[in-house]
Structure 1
Amino acid sequence: MATQETRPATDLPTVATAYNGVDRNAFIFGWNPQAELWNGRLAAIGFLAYLLWDLAGYSVLRDVLHIIGY
């Protein structure tokens, strides 16, 4: 019965490569897979910031609805 060999930790890649072989976490300007990752990360940070702002009592949406009469 053969034993399954385990990969040593030194064989792991040092960077996460994308479809084009470039580091997926690199901040590269233009239309590329990295832009989608950064767009999602920044959108999540913005959503969390607005959620915390709203929980603190400063609601932009509530103020706008109050101004237009709802």
Structure 2
Amino acid sequence: MSEQNTKFGFTAFAETWNGRLAMIGFVVGLATELLTGQGILSQIGLL
């Protein structure tokens, strides 16, 4: 199997989507914190 056809592992395709999803998760977490006034750890009961 050639390197260009692989969609698993540390490929540029996987790293691009990993970065995009991480940015979305960060923005959602920040928006949730701003709307509720509680941090993420407080929301799930750890603090």
Instruction: Provide the TM-score with structure 1 as the length reference.
Output: 0.46
User: How many residues are matched?
Assistant: 40
- Alpha-carbon distance between aligned partners in 1 of 2:33 and 2:42, rounded to the nearest angstrom: 9
Structure with the greater alpha carbon radius of gyration: 1
| Structure 1 position 37 matched with structure 2 position 16 | yes
1:56 equivalent in alignment to 2:43: no
> Alpha carbon RMSD of aligned pairs, Å?
2.3
Identity of aligned residues (%): 38
Q: How high is the TM-score relative to the length of structure 2?
A: 0.65
Whole-Å separation in 1 of the counterparts to 2:42 and 2:8: 36
Higher helix share: 2
Give 1:29 shift. 3.2
Q: Which structure has the higher relative contact order (CA within 8 Å, separation 6+)?
A: 2
1:14-37 per-position Cα deviation (integer Å, ceiling 9, x unaligned): xxxxxx5x8xxxxx7312111001
